[in-house]
Structure 1
Amino acid sequence: VQAAVDIGGLRDGVIPFDSLDLMAVEAERAATVFRGISLSRSALWGPLASARRDLDELAASTDVQLTQAAETLGAARSFLGGSGDRRYLLAMQNNAEMRAQGMVLSYAVVHFGGGRITFERQGPISDLALDGPTATPIPPGTQEVFGITEPTTLWQSVNSTADFDWSGRAMVDMYRQATGSPIDGVVTLDVPGLAALLRVVGPVEVPGLAGPVSAGNAGRVLLNDLYKGLAKGDDQGPRREALGAVADAVITRLTNGNQDLVGIGSALAEATTGGHLRVWSAAPTEQEVFLRAGISGGPARVDADRTFHVAVENRTGTKLDYFVKPSVRQEVRFSGRTDVVVRTTVVIDNQAPTGQPPSYQLGPDQYSVNPGDYTAWVLLWGPAGANQQASIAESGLTLSQAVVRVGAGERREAVFDTLIPGAVRDGELTVRLVPQPRLEPVDLSVTLDPQGRKVEGATSWNGPWDRTRTLSWQVE
């Protein structure tokens, strides 16, 4: 990696293809080393055999990660214009009004050509308003649940579904219909993702804002401060211009001067881990690589029959998600020898200030009564093949939903029960938990009730749901 860095970082928007190529070669070379580590444990016993097994598992996991890194770097080379010019829609997502991801409210068009990155145009997403739906096929479950939001007409609804593989394709079609110009893919980035880049490029100053915007204050400035003092019906132009100006300042910093390639890569990896950065490519071979790497697609891309995903979406036109702090509690218990029941409790804590006058940020609007009223669309995607109340197949999983109204300063909850047939397989129970990319990670707790059965592994876990969490137990 250091050798690749020595070749060159990102200088004045020039893509360092030599560095990418060298890193891909070295990642594959390192993978072959770990691939050959696994040895027989037949002559070992007790703690030595256990330690050898742990080492073999670590080596195998590292081999997979390095091989995947090499594959992803190869796809990134062509995605970044290494095999010809490319143009992408950069969709900026606002975490103050949540869908399965942040709502798309602004955009830029990125061009990779001649070994350089440039930005052709940018503005509010209203510049790309459509007068009717695109021809993008909508899966039956997605149509039944989200069709009412017009996801192929309204940019604000295109990512209500959890399946970014579908949303990315829809955004490409929507851009073509709005402009008459084709693009080669989509990159989505929300405010936490922008903050990750600010940690690399440093604070930026924007006219009209009181001080520099940094990684530490980007969420507060962009999702709260810019809304303060705006009454319903006020001109939103200055706020949108300020938001666009921050993104423009980061882009300008990235494409001018010498930028740390490893730092940028680490920031993008951090954003990807939490779902704050997503990529969709119209090139099928690239898209397959991005799906395997976890930077595209939906929660069902891996182990769909063990996966849970929870989203709390805003059913009003307010910008209240800055104040809404969901938490999730899962209680797992056995039902027979191999079946498992999971009770998921989603708590919606609306920390919006009480007693406030009507405003653009707090409402009320046509969907609410008082300032600060929040209508939560609580969506639980359970494992494929599971049994849930009033469920439907959507995004490759089993979706149930509830609508919960929460006043300012109030807490409410929604409860779902999921029966997973045959969840214990070969003596192992595994659940995979994919987060919603919010401004702050959701608090998650999971407990397993052994019910007298012998269980190997901690029976409780709690912490920030800031990345996909996989929990496993050995069960007798």
Structure 2
Amino acid sequence: MAVLLLLVGVIVWVGARGLMASNELKAVVPLASQIQGEIGSADTAAASTTAASLAAHASKAAELTSDPIWRAAEVVPWAGGNLAAVREMSTELDRVASQVIVPLAGIAGSIDTTSLRSADGRIDLAPLVEARPVVGEAVIALEAASARIDAIDADAIIGPIADARSEFADAIDAASEAMTTLDRTVRILPEMLGADGPRNYLILFQNSAELRTGGGIIGALALVHTEDGRVTLIEQAASGDIGYSSEPVLPLPEAETVLFGNRLGTYIQNVTATPDFSLSGRLAAAMWARDRGTVVDGVIAVDPVGLSYVLGATGPVAVAGGGTLSEGDAVRALLVDTYERLDDDHAQDAFFASAAGAVFGALSSASIDPAVLIAAVTRIADEHRLAIWSAHDDEQAVLADTTLAGMQATQTSLGEQAYAVYLNDRSGGKMDAYLDVATSVEVADTRDDGRSEVELTVTMTSTAPPDAAVSLPRRTTNGGMFGVPPGVIATNVTVYSPPGAFDAGVSYDGAPVGYQSVNADGRIANNVAVDLAPGATATVVYRFVSAEPGQVTPVAFATPLMTG
């Protein structure tokens, strides 16, 4: 009887404390949403108060689920595993609240995008530098919490607790990803903006009407100067202003030479033909230093679609000739109308330079909403329309793990089952304004050894008018140069496999086709030349065998187009 009474007492005790802990945890949910709103509205005082309240509820939940009786009950078969899971989740929430939420709420106001920018457009860098320890510790705390939550065996707990574990794990992972991004930002942005001394950056404006792997040929360039949070446009140039060299300005890797030729390193227009933007940046920097005499601290590339997103934040800008550019018309104005309206290369270059300068001038305005601009830049980065290389090794090491480091880094970040589709124009014209591309990848079959037979399909369509050869400007069709008939879209379509994958052939419109194959640092790079007459469609299927058994979730991404 005594044992029975003791057991009943334990059940009542644990049940009561479990109910109280549940109430504490339920109180946390609305407070978490409330903090987000308060931080978003820059109400730091309110956010700190709410964070303290959230931490108190989390601490109480951890206390209620960690007393000796609760811990003793964890040895009971079936029930014990569930009790342990509740305790562990409560403990992790308490840690996250005290080590992440409360400290971040305290600095949120100082790194708010609105408060960082002064009336003259200068960015106050000191708060970003001061935030580094808090943000860095938050990253460590979230990574530790994620590991401990993942260690809870979901198969050993009942449905409601397993669901709570899954939701908590997802929330921690999302917070960890966001915090890692913030950590990288506060670690490198102050120096890039001149916190430790003046910097110079070369901006490459890509023209996606003539595709290159990274987005398009280089059509215009700009040199910007940063110092103590202030950004100034120093110099502009057209790509034609940068001289050609008979030999590459830097040694080129063998795979790049085979796939893209020496022109990768001899013409500024071609530096983004490689997926390795660290190479693109070094090549562009070397060419600029040779011709302009300025050694730059980094190189940044963006395409016209990306510029249009920026215009969504700045509003329309005036350009040479009395016109304006806006988010809705910038892409067509830059990549189609320019060639119909201006038949002189120098006039086209001047228009591109004017557009780039106007957008930069709008960016420098103190009236722009930083939050809207950040949203635009995030969209540009998500669509792979922005790439950054730093000449400073410590900063490049931070960038190298992000998609901002270019297409090669993006493929790496997508994991060991990621395929990349890179497009390079062969006509020298601007026909890619009329190119549509659809890409898909799937496991077609599984071999006896467990490896997957992967098929990556690229479907390309020309939307050029039937009479493109005569109706489109010569600068658009390039008039038959390089052996490509006017009006034809000519593209090298190169697919990079994941590391260690095996080549299994290529077909073009259902029939086997010859192709160029190169080993690029452990990745297979298979290249096929595709020519599309106006209105034509071609389908190319690249086949591979996965590097390892069980790789059944391949993913793919491609060079961004002007059509989205």
Q: Per the alignment, in what secondary structure is the counterpart of residue 318 of structure 2? A: coil
Residue 458 of structure 1 corresponds to which residue in structure 2?
Answer: none
The answer to whether residue 438 in structure 2 is matched with residue 327 in structure 1 is yes
Q: How does 1:74-473 map to 2 (within 5 A)?
A: 74-100=187-213, 101-148=215-262, 150-208=263-321, 211-229=323-341, 234-297=343-406, 298=408, 299-302=410-413, 305-333=416-444, 334-356=446-468, 357=470, 359-368=474-483, 370-388=485-503, 389=505, 391-394=517-520, 397-424=523-550, 429-441=552-564
**Partner amino acid for 2:382?**
T
Pick 1 or 2: higher relative contact order, CA cutoff 8 A, min separation 6.
Answer: 1
Residue 460 of structure 1 corresponds to which residue in structure 2?
Answer: none
**Partner amino acid for 2:425?**
N
The Cα shift of 1:376 comes to: 1.5
Q: Per the alignment, in what secondary structure is the counterpart of residue 228 of structure 1? A: helix
**Partner amino acid for 1:55?**
F
**Partner amino acid for 1:241?**
A
The Cα shift of 1:193 comes to: 1.2
**Partner amino acid for 1:228?**
E
Q: Per the alignment, in what secondary structure is the counterpart of residue 231 of structure 2? A: strand
Q: Per the alignment, in what secondary structure is the counterpart of residue 258 of structure 1? A: coil
The Cα shift of 1:392 comes to: 1.6
Q: Per the alignment, in what secondary structure is the counterpart of residue 305 of structure 1? A: coil
The Cα shift of 1:354 comes to: 1.6
User: Could you report, residue by residue, the CA deviation over 1:124-173 in whole angstroms, capped at 9, with x for unpaired residues?
Assistant: 0111213333442211211121125x111111211111111221122122
User: Could you report, residue by residue, the CA deviation over 1:372-415 in whole angstroms, capped at 9, with x for unpaired residues?
Assistant: 11111111111111112453222663200100111111111222
The Cα shift of 1:10 comes to: 5.8
Matches of 1:68 and 1:6 in 2, distance apart? 19
The Cα shift of 1:47 comes to: 4.6
Contact 2:449 2:549 in 1 (8 A): no
The Cα shift of 1:13 comes to: 3.8
For structure 2, the 5+ residue unaligned runs are 1-38, 43-108, 506-515
Matches of 1:200 and 1:22 in 2, distance apart? 28
The Cα shift of 1:82 comes to: 1.0
Say which of 172, 175, 185 aligns to 1:62. Answer: 175
Higher strand share: 1
Matches of 2:415 and 2:173 in 1, distance apart? 22
The Cα shift of 1:55 comes to: 2.2
Higher helix share: 2
Q: How does 1:23-62 map to 2 (within 5 A)?
A: 27-28=135-136, 31=139, 34-35=142-143, 36=145, 38-39=148-149, 41=152, 44-62=157-175
Contact 1:332 1:341 in 2 (8 A): yes
Matches of 2:290 and 2:379 in 1, distance apart? 33
The percent identity for this pair of structures is 26
Q: Per the alignment, in what secondary structure is the counterpart of residue 495 of structure 2? A: strand
Contact 1:190 1:276 in 2 (8 A): yes
Contact 2:388 2:399 in 1 (8 A): yes
Residue 14 of structure 1 corresponds to which residue in structure 2?
Answer: 122
User: Could you report, residue by residue, the CA deviation over 1:97-131 in whole angstroms, capped at 9, with x for unpaired residues?
Assistant: 00102111110001012431111100201112133
The Cα shift of 1:431 comes to: 2.4
Report the structure number with the largest CA radius of gyration: 2
Matches of 1:260 and 1:434 in 2, distance apart? 31
Residue 47 of structure 2 corresponds to which residue in structure 1?
Answer: none
**Partner amino acid for 2:231?**
I
Q: Per the alignment, in what secondary structure is the counterpart of residue 364 of structure 1? A: helix
Contact 1:10 1:258 in 2 (8 A): no
**Partner amino acid for 2:122?**
V
Matches of 2:349 and 2:249 in 1, distance apart? 30
The Cα shift of 1:32 comes to: 6.0
Residue 62 of structure 2 corresponds to which residue in structure 1?
Answer: none
User: Could you report, residue by residue, the CA deviation over 1:313-334 in whole angstroms, capped at 9, with x for unpaired residues?
Assistant: 2100110111111111323132
Normalising by structure 2, what TM-score?
Answer: 0.72
Instruction: Give the root-mean-square deviation of aligned CA atoms.
Output: 2.4
Matches of 1:165 and 1:47 in 2, distance apart? 48
Matches of 1:372 and 1:65 in 2, distance apart? 46
Contact 1:24 1:71 in 2 (8 A): no
Inter-CA distance 363–181: structure 2 relative to 1 (3 Å threshold): closer
Inter-CA distance 46–250: structure 2 relative to 1 (3 Å threshold): same
The Cα shift of 1:27 comes to: 4.5
Q: Per the alignment, in what secondary structure is the counterpart of residue 261 of structure 2? A: helix
Choose 27-36 or 69-78, whichever is displaced more. 27-36
The Cα shift of 1:195 comes to: 1.0
Matches of 1:341 and 1:68 in 2, distance apart? 35
Matches of 1:253 and 1:380 in 2, distance apart? 38
The Cα shift of 1:6 comes to: 4.6
For structure 1, the 5+ residue unaligned runs are 442-476
Residue 448 of structure 1 corresponds to which residue in structure 2?
Answer: none
Contact 2:440 2:556 in 1 (8 A): no
Inter-CA distance 103–170: structure 2 relative to 1 (3 Å threshold): same
Contact 1:10 1:259 in 2 (8 A): no
Matches of 2:522 and 2:432 in 1, distance apart? 27
Matches of 1:326 and 1:10 in 2, distance apart? 44
Inter-CA distance 416–10: structure 2 relative to 1 (3 Å threshold): farther
Q: Per the alignment, in what secondary structure is the counterpart of residue 218 of structure 2? A: strand
Matches of 2:402 and 2:381 in 1, distance apart? 10
Q: Per the alignment, in what secondary structure is the counterpart of residue 250 of structure 2? A: coil
Choose 75-84 or 393-402, whichever is displaced more. 393-402
Q: Per the alignment, in what secondary structure is the counterpart of residue 362 of structure 1? A: helix
Inter-CA distance 119–311: structure 2 relative to 1 (3 Å threshold): same
Matches of 2:299 and 2:241 in 1, distance apart? 17
Matches of 2:245 and 2:462 in 1, distance apart? 35
The Cα shift of 1:33 comes to: 6.4
User: Could you report, residue by residue, the CA deviation over 1:242-274 in whole angstroms, capped at 9, with x for unpaired residues?
Assistant: 221111111112223333222222222211111
